């Protein structure tokens, strides 16, 4: 889970003014994820929060590396970046006040990934278990198009990346 301050801010936003959408946004070429993929996560051991953040993503990294072991490093890194976004969505769902509001239809969680080299935004599509390009719509349209992600898991995404039929 995130440190207390971000949790407090998230709880206030969801329970107080009634935020209706939460976007978890990852990005390409993430240095922390790159360090995890390359086995250099210990480089952040002296950082207060970065070491904790990379440790949260370690299990997701292990899953991706196991399933995509024969893929190029760049593809593995991208999959870890994207699967980590889904892991963060799952972590949000572990808070009762988020899960209850999602179940009641008052809150939608979005998993987005930004490819900085392309300048393109991708949104996770639960129907395909893949991050699909957001094209032909503006940011407001992308938020409206969102799908509740209450049952998404990194394992389902990684299975799709590995060419396996994702289990629902």
In the chain, what are the domains? 18-161 (3.40.1050.10)
For the entire predicted model, the pTM comes to: 0.79
- Residue-level pLDDT at 41: 73
User: Comparing C-alpha atoms, which of 81, 88, 80, 84 is closest to residue 7?
Assistant: 88
The predicted structure's pLDDT at residue 111: 93
Q: What is the pLDDT of residue 168?
A: 43
pLDDT of residue 150: 47
Q: Are 32 and 57 in contact (CB under 8 A)?
A: yes
CA distance 136 to 79: 24
Residue 88 has pLDDT above 70, yes or no: yes
CA distances from 152 to 85, 94, 102, 109 (A): 11, 13, 13, 10
State pLDDT tens for residues 18-75. 888 999 999 999 988 998 898 887 777 788 777 777 788 889 999 999 999 999 999 9
Average pLDDT, the chain: 82
Would you give the DSSP letter of residue 152? -
Poorest-pLDDT segment among 3-7, 37-41, 122-126: 3-7
pLDDT class of 138 with cuts at 50, 70, 90: low
> Residue 112 — pLDDT band, cuts 50, 70, 90?
very high
The proportion of the chain whose per-residue pLDDT surpasses 70, expressed as a percent, equals 80
């Amino acid at each position: 889970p995130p440190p207390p301050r971000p949790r407090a801010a998230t709880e206030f936003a969801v329970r107080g003014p009634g935020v209706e959408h939460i976007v978890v946004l990852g990005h390409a070429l993430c240095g922390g994820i790159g360090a995890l993929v390359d086995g250099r996560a210990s480089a952040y051991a002296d950082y207060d929060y970065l070491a904790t953040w990379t440790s949260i993503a370690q299990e997701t990294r292990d899953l991706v590396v196991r399933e995509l072991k024969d893929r190029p490093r760049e593809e593995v890194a991208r999959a870890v970046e994207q699967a980590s976004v889904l892991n963060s969505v799952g972590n949000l769902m572990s808070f009762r006040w988020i899960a209850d509001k999602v179940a009641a239809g008052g809150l939608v969680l979005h998993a987005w990934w930004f490819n900085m080299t392309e300048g393109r935004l991708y949104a996770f599509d639960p129907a395909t278990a893949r991050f699909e390009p957001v094209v032909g719509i503006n940011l407001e349209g992308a938020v409206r198009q969102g799908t509740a992600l209450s049952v998404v898991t990194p394992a389902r995404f990684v299975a799709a990346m590995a060419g396996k039929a994702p289990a629902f």
